[in-house]
Structure 1
Amino acid sequence: MGKVIVELVFILDRSGSMEGLETETIGGYNAMIEKQKKQEGKTLVTTILFNNEYQRLTFRTPIKEVRPLTGHEYFPRGRTALLDAIGQTIHQIALKQKEDEVDRRPTKTVFVIITDGLENASTHFTTPIIKEMISYEEREYGWEFMFLGANFEVFSVTDQLGIRRTRAARYARRQEAVYLNYSEVGNTINRMRRGEAVGDEWKENIDALFDKKGDE
């Protein structure tokens, strides 16, 4: 087996509905990145913050060079242009991977989308287009897409987007749930690194907390 190169892509909601969860989002993301830094092999990190605007916090940055997320970058406001964030990021990553030399091309690409609001502000991408883009990258290049959502029927959204239900989870809109999201995502990424099969067991703790606490 050749050199393992993992590309991690995080698309994080910072629309107004995330207000009150800033500390947990920042802390959970930073803790997950620090744990990923300890893993063997090369890892590239792209982190997108979105509302009705789009900000690239990092773009294919070697993980050792990724700086902690702070409140200067992550402060909720605005609406939720989810489709535009997903579509623009897929397009950018796919374009850059095609430019990579073969021996520098990622062997595993994982998208992690975390949001607590429904789409209400996209102007460039539609649901059918996003579904086609996701299906193509999964089929042709083995990309993985994980989706964690709160305050809406997650499976209804992910079914329309073409994201498998085994890769989608609904979380309680509570502080401990946000921390748990990042912890379980990090654990799952580690399993994917090792080439382990991942079903829906990765989200059992997230589901259990949602069932216990409800959607608050």
Structure 2
Amino acid sequence: MTDAQTGETLVAFLLDRTGSMGSVKAQTIAGFNAYLAGLQAEEADISFSLLQFDSMSIDVICANAPVKDVAPLTEASYQPRASTPLIDAAVKTIRAVEVAVAERAVPPKVVVTFQTDGEENCSTEHDWIELNLLIKDKAAQGWQFNFLGAGIDAYQQGARMGLKDDAVVSYDKEGLAETTAVFAARAARARDYAKGRAASMAIPMEEKRRAGDRFAEAVRGGAQPGDPKAPRAPRRAILDTPKL
């Protein structure tokens, strides 16, 4: 496949801005900026969206912008606070990307990355089952997902989200080199995927090792998304629905 045949790729990144990220703010800014620089390192038809989330809001920092025009994060544009409505933020991000895809005359490739250092603790509108089924439906349509767990065992939570182990990495959030390495590697893979040089966004074991992943070698037992007979009743929204 030649570059001319690859078409547009929508890349969306959901970045954890919750209070616990404050202790690794510098590493996270450096890591994300390495990700952005990696996407910008080579001419590619990538439209980039960055969303930051916490329990106070989900904010669209940029929406389907040409990746070359996206500005790096700064101390001012990344301010950790509040708690972790991961499920609500992930569902809303996917739905926003879904709308952006529907607006394209030619279906684009899609890459969605979730990043967090904590477990779900305060979503009010959606549950694990809904997120799990939504991700599996989009993956069946060819969407590519990655889950970057900052210092946590991301595999159990990733399984609840509906993600396979090769879509998940748990990186050493305290280490600047490890953080930068995993963000840069994911950007390189996204760039290769956009240009038709990679078939998927799967994360190789060597990349996980460079990220300081302490959980990658363990055998996983197939975590379940929850009891399908008893989904949580919808409650009031704490996050607005973003538009990309």
TM-score between both structures, scaled by the size of structure 2: 0.78
What residue number does 1:148 align with? 148
Change in Cα spacing, 1:180 to 1:203, as seen in structure 2 (3 Å) is farther
Greater relative contact order: 1 or 2 (C-alpha under 8 angstroms, separation 6 or more)? Answer: 2
- Distance (Å, rounded) in 1 between the aligned partners of 2:25 and 2:92: 24
Q: Match of 2:8?
A: 5
**Matches of 1:117 and 1:143, distance apart in 2:** 24
Alignment-mate amino acid for residue 74 of structure 2: T
1:64 aligned residue (65, 68, 71): 68
| Distance (Å, rounded) in 2 between the aligned partners of 1:48 and 1:117 | 17
Report the 3-state secondary structure (helix = DSSP H, G, I; strand = E; otherwise coil) of the residue aligned with 1:118. Answer: coil
* Contact 2:144-2:200 at 8 Å conserved across structures: no
In the TM superposition, structure 1's runs of 4+ consecutive aligned residues that sit over 4 Å from their partners are 198-201
SS of match in other structure, 1:48: strand
- State the shift of 1:95 in Å: 1.3
Does the C-alpha gap of structure 1 residues 201 and 137 become closer, same or farther in structure 2, counting only changes over 3 Å?
A: closer
In structure 2, list runs of 5 or more residues that go unmatched. Answer: 215-244
For residues 203 and 36 of structure 1, the distance between their equivalents in structure 2, rounded to whole angstroms, comes to: 22
Which residue identity lines up with residue 173 of structure 1 in the other structure?
K
1:71 CA displacement: 1.6
Q: How far apart, CA to CA, are the structure 2 residues paired with 1:25 and 1:151?
A: 12
Of 14-23 and 80-89, the range deviating more from structure 2 = 14-23
Structure 2 match to 1:16: 19
Partner of 1:138: 139
**Cα deviation per residue 1:64-95 (whole Å; 9 max; x = unaligned)?**
22112112221111000111111001101101
RMSD: 2.0
Is contact 2:39–2:188 with CA below 8 Å preserved after alignment?
Answer: no
Distance (Å, rounded) in 1 between the aligned partners of 2:203 and 2:135 = 22
Task: Determine if contact 1:28/1:183 at 8 Å carries over to the other structure.
Answer: yes
What is the CA deviation profile of residues 18-51 of structure 1, one whole-angstrom value per residue up to 9, with x for unaligned ones? 1121112112212321231232331100111111
Contact 2:17 2:81 in 1 (8 A): yes
The one-letter code matched in structure 1 to 2:20 is S
Cα pair 2:11 2:47 within 8 Å, conserved: yes
Q: Given that residues 170 and 207 in structure 1 are in contact (C-alpha distance below 8 angstroms), is that contact kept between their aligned partners in structure 2? A: no
SS at match of 2:204: helix
Aligned-pair CA distance for 1:168: 0.5
TM-score of the aligned structures, taking structure 1 as reference length = 0.87
> Structure 1 residues 206, 11: closer, same or farther in 2, change over 3 A?
same
Aligned-pair distance for 1:201? 5.2
**d(CA) in 2 for partners of 1:39, 1:199:** 18
Corresponding pairs, count: 208
Alpha-carbon distance between aligned partners in 2 of 1:66 and 1:143, rounded to the nearest angstrom = 22
More off after superposition, 128-137 vs 24-33: 24-33
Structure 1 contact 15–50 (Cα < 8 Å) conserved: yes
- The answer to whether residue 81 in structure 2 is matched with residue 80 in structure 1 is no
